[in-house]
Amino acid sequence: MANISNIVGQNAVNNSDITGANYATKYATAVKVFSGEVFNAFNSASIFRGLIRSYDMRGQKAKQFLLTGKLSAGYHVPGTPILGDAGLKSNEKTIVMDDLLVASQFVYDLDEILSQWSARSEISKQIGEALATHYDQRIARVLTNASAEASAVTGEPGGFRVQLGANNEYNAQALVDGFFEAASVLDERNAPQEGRVAVLNPRQYHSLVSSVDTGILNRDLGSTQGSLNSGEGLYSIAGISIRKSNNLPFLAGTVAAVTGENNTYNGDFTNTCGLLFHREAAGVVQSIAPSIETTSGSFRVQYQGDLIVGKLAMGCGSLRTSVAGAFLNT
């Protein structure tokens, strides 16, 4: 008769693969892979990443930004002392961290075994996109609010709004005229040419691309504006780079504040239908980049699956409101 201990010994799972160094290595590698997938999905899905000032923070809950006005120059009178100009106006703005943002999904082992597709890769992608949506929505709302804010610095202009006309949010010619008006305002306020961006609703963008009347898009093959066949036929108008996004507060009405938000993202967005801004208009602070954690050990045994959690810690606020603009359908 076979020794039961021998049978168990021959068929038992090697504990070193589960609880020892081998498992730890495999677990760490898996987490790195999932985190990489989440980060890549976040970067692919986010439109606003890199369009405004961005800062990484460690060991602090808020960041102060110094905003200044402009100095003037004058001629020196021989024999008189230069005492320094006391007229430079300045102020501070503070951006604080919001509460930790998470997106999660439980993966049941049996479902994963029976599935014909890679559940974890898809979940990682979905988590990254969920975090990116939240990230972009908050930045878009901050920029929209900034377009109606007074400047924090005395004597400096506040945000600006370009009226397209009633129900003209998709009118290509009205949009083109609005771009040139916004460019004029940014020029008057000495905003650098580099860093000017507009973010439109996709339907607005395609209305511009498909319109012959605007004269903006050269339809000839080899145009520097792009290709109509690809649907990416318009890169800039009036020197303002163009992006499209579904995360604008596009004619969104009143959006309420949410618990966990420590900056102002709420507001009345009833008539707002697009953004035009320079990167100095707002800033985002981040203490935890898009990353992922997954359970192991006793949790996995108890629940026969893994909990995958994506997380992000960020906050966003307006800075130099003089270069923050928005389209209105009024």
d(CA 306, CA 294): 6
pLDDT reported for residue 154: 87
List of E strands, the chain: 53-56, 62-68, 90-96, 101-108, 160-163, 196-200, 236-237, 240-244, 253-255, 267-269, 272-278, 282-294, 305-318, 324-328
Helix (H, G, I), strand (E, B) or coil at 208: helix
Both tokens assigned to 10: 């021959």
**237 close to 209: Cβ distance less than 8 angstroms:** no
Beta bridge partners of 91: 67
Please tell me the predicted confidence (pLDDT) of residue 85. Answer: 75
C-alpha–C-alpha distance, residues 289 and 131, integer Å: 10
* Burial (0-12, 13-18, 19+ Cβ within 10 Å), 228: middle
Q: Identify the pLDDT of residue 197.
A: 98
Query: pLDDT tens, position by position, for the chain (330 residues)?
Result: 443 333 233 333 343 343 444 544 544 544 555 556 666 777 778 999 999 999 999 888 999 998 888 887 888 899 998 887 776 788 899 999 999 999 988 887 776 666 656 677 788 888 889 999 999 999 999 999 999 999 999 889 999 999 999 999 999 999 999 999 999 999 999 999 999 999 999 999 999 888 755 565 554 434 555 555 566 668 889 999 999 999 999 999 999 999 999 999 999 999 999 999 999 999 999 999 888 887 777 777 778 888 888 999 999 999 999 999 999 999
In whole angstroms, give the CA distance from residue 143 to residue 64: 18
Q: What are phi and psi of 226, to 5 degrees?
A: 120, -170
pLDDT, position 108: 79
Any idea how long the chain is?
330
Residue 322: per-residue pLDDT: 97
Pairing of strands 196-200, 240-244: parallel
How large is the greatest C-alpha to C-alpha distance in the chain, in angstroms?
115
What is the pLDDT, as a whole number, of residue 32?
A: 52
Query: For residues 179 and 281, what is the distance between their CA atoms, to the nearest angstrom?
Result: 17
pLDDT of residue 299: 79
pLDDT value, residue 324: 98
The predicted structure's pLDDT at residue 313? 95
Angle at 174 between CA 170 and CA 180, to 5 degrees: 125
The pLDDT score that the predictor gives to residue 16 is 39
The total of other beta-carbon atoms located within 10 Å of residue 152's CB is 18
Q: What is the pLDDT of residue 2?
A: 40
DSSP letter assigned to residue 109: H
pLDDT the model gives residue 272: 98
Please give the Cα distance from 33 to 35 (Å, whole number). Answer: 5
Gap between the Cα atoms of 243 and 237, Å rounded: 11
DSSP state of 220: S
